[in-house]
Amino acid sequence: MPLAVIYAVLIFLFSAVPYLSAPRTKFQLVDKFYHLIEFGVFSFLLFLVFFKSNSNVFKKRPQLFSVIFGVAYALSDEIHQKFVPGRSADLFDFLADCAGVILVQVILWFYLRSRSL
């Protein structure tokens, strides 16, 4: 089973915990940073799945599919949280998730581009 699937299940399980919130710190946006990192890791794991895929469709554009699946999962995660007691769907959490997904793919694009030169 790909690590991306296991990681997606872990995201779902943590999202299902009622009244779970990020630890309090002096940094007010620490929650958004956690979202960025959480979905950045997920984005990298998705990239590995698509990059190593047997399907030419996925293998030719692993970054595109990583962004599509990562953003779709982030959206489904926020919708899921809307139905968990003490949790809510938050647009800014979703945007932080998307930023993590896209940032990792941009970094990978530059990395792979520099290796092919």
What are the backbone dihedrals phi and psi of residue 29, each rounded to the nearest 5 degrees, phi first?
A: -100, 20
Mean pLDDT of 23-46: 88
Stretch among 8-17, 26-35, 90-99 having the lowest mean pLDDT: 26-35
In the chain, domain spans: 27-116
Percent of all residues in the chain with a pLDDT value above 90, rounded to a whole number: 85
pTM, whole model, 2 decimals?
A: 0.92
The string of DSSP letters for 69-116 reads HHHHHHHHHHHHHHTSTT----HHHHHHHHHHHHHHHHHHHHHHHHHH
The mean pLDDT value of the chain amounts to 93
